[in-house]
Amino acid sequence: MIKSLSPGRKIFLSLDYIFLISIAILCLIPMIHVLALSFSSNSAATAGYVKLWPIGFNLKSYEFVTSEPSFLRAMLISIKRIALGVPINMLLTIITAYPLSKSIQKFKYRKWYTWFFVITILFHGGLIPWYMTIYKTGLIDSIWALVIPGAVSVYNIIILLNFYKGLPEEIEEAAFIDGAGHWIILWIIYVPLSIPAIATLLLFSIIGHWNSWFDGLILMNTTNKYPLQSYLQTVIVAHNFTIVSTKNLKDLSEISDRTSKAAQIFLGALPILVVYPFLQKYFMTGMVLGSVKG
């Protein structure tokens, strides 16, 4: 369609571009500011000179944060949590979504099971009974408390089962005639065909585990068992420094509170920034396919 644009259209389009680009920049400015702070010198940060570019560039804040044993320990716990939680999460999602995606002719009890799962997103017992249950099952202070109670994500199951439903039935029927059972059909046919959806859910699961902070805060009695986000909640948001090892408390006066917080915020977001490009590649297709049906 090669047609010259009318002047009004040209003005509208230029304004549209300017507006959207400004909005996009506005989204990132707070983060860029904090990143600049983290690389700035103590005095420049405290005096409020730093805007969007570091002043008095140095890496002292990062050296301080990465030499802090409690920070590293919390980061390790987060990594451990992902290593345990994500595979369990994905396995459960993959195998649970399969029977629920079947028609009632193929799986008679599908409706019963679906309601059993959906009721849990409609009704909650609330904070205290939830805590009591985890306490009674003996998970308090254990890494499994961060993995097992949230292992079944009904939202993810719904996304994947809707994706499964879109797969052609003929392949499955052919495999069935060839003697394949449901387990084989699931692993040989469904899983390979659902890679975009599974990749999306995998990344969501990683991010979900990385970003969780409240369960760590409430289910761990000792702060040295906190995952990173719970640790950062305590140090940055609640200003509770008792969690930081005493040896380093002396250094804290030498390094600006502001720049070290900025460095911790950036390090806390770094894994998200690393997986973000992969995430973007998949989640557009995966999300939309799972949520919007024809």
Partner 1 sequence: MNRAKRLREIPMHVMLLPGVVLLLIYSYTPMAGIIMAFEKYIPSKGIFHSQWVGIKNFIFLATLPGIFGVLWNTVFIAIMKIAAGLVVPATIALLLNELRQQFVKRCIQTMIYLPHFISWVLLSGILLDILSPSRGIVNQLLSSFGLTPVFFLGDKAWFPYTMTITNTWKEFGFGTIIYLAALTAIDPTLYEAAIVDGANRWQQTWHITLPGIKGIVVLLTALSLGSVLNAGFDQIFNLYSPQVYKTGDVLDTFVYRMGVINMEYSVATAVGLFKSVVSFILITASYKLAYKYADYRIF
Residues 232-271 close enough to bind partner 1 by CB under 8 A: 232-233, 236-237, 258, 261-262, 264-265, 268-269
Nearer to partner 1 (CB atom), residue 230 or residue 248 = 230
Question: Which ranges constitute the DSSP H helices of 212-256?
Answer: 214-219, 228-232, 246-254
Q: Name the percent of the chain in helix, strand, coil, to the closest 5.
A: 75, 0, 25
Burial group, residue 264, by CB count within 10 angstroms (0-12, 13-18, 19+): buried
- Of 59-118, which residues contact partner 1 (CB under 8 A)? 92, 95-96, 98-100, 102, 106-109, 113-114, 116-118
Shortest distance, position 140 Cβ to partner 1, whole Å: 13
175 binds partner 1 (CB under 8 A): no
Shortest distance, position 84 Cβ to partner 1, whole Å: 15
C-alpha–C-alpha distance, residues 34 and 263, integer Å: 8
Nearer to partner 1 (CB atom), residue 17 or residue 241 = 17
- Residue in 84, 218, 243, 252 binding partner 1, rule: CB under 8 A: 218
Angle between helices 69-100 and 110-122 (to 10 degrees): 140
Q: Which helix (H) or strand (E) holds 75?
A: helix 69-100
Nearer to partner 1 (CB atom), residue 126 or residue 192 = 126
- Of 134-163, which residues contact partner 1 (CB under 8 A)? 134, 137, 148-152, 157-158, 161-162
Q: Comparing C-alpha atoms, which of 207, 201, 124, 123 is closest to residue 164? A: 201
- Residue in 11, 13, 174, 274 binding partner 1, rule: CB under 8 A: 13
Report in angstroms the alpha-carbon separations of 80 from 142, 144, 249, 292: 12, 10, 27, 34
Residue 4 has what DSSP assignment? P
- Of 16-35, which residues contact partner 1 (CB under 8 A)? 16-17, 19-21, 23-25, 27-28, 30-31, 33-34
Q: How many chain residues interact with partner 1 (CB under 8 A)?
A: 93
Nearer to partner 1 (CB atom), residue 104 or residue 250 = 104
Phi and psi, residue 108, nearest 5°: -60, -35
223 binds partner 1 (CB under 8 A): no
Which range in 63-71, 78-86, 188-196, 281-289 contacts partner 1 by CB under 8 A?
Answer: 281-289
Q: Are 202 and 191 in contact (CB under 8 A)?
A: no
Shortest distance, position 163 Cβ to partner 1, whole Å: 12
Nearer to partner 1 (CB atom), residue 57 or residue 214 = 214
CB within 8 Å of 220: residues ≥ 6 apart? 140, 141, 145, 226, 230
Shortest distance, position 82 Cβ to partner 1, whole Å: 14
Shortest distance, position 110 Cβ to partner 1, whole Å: 8
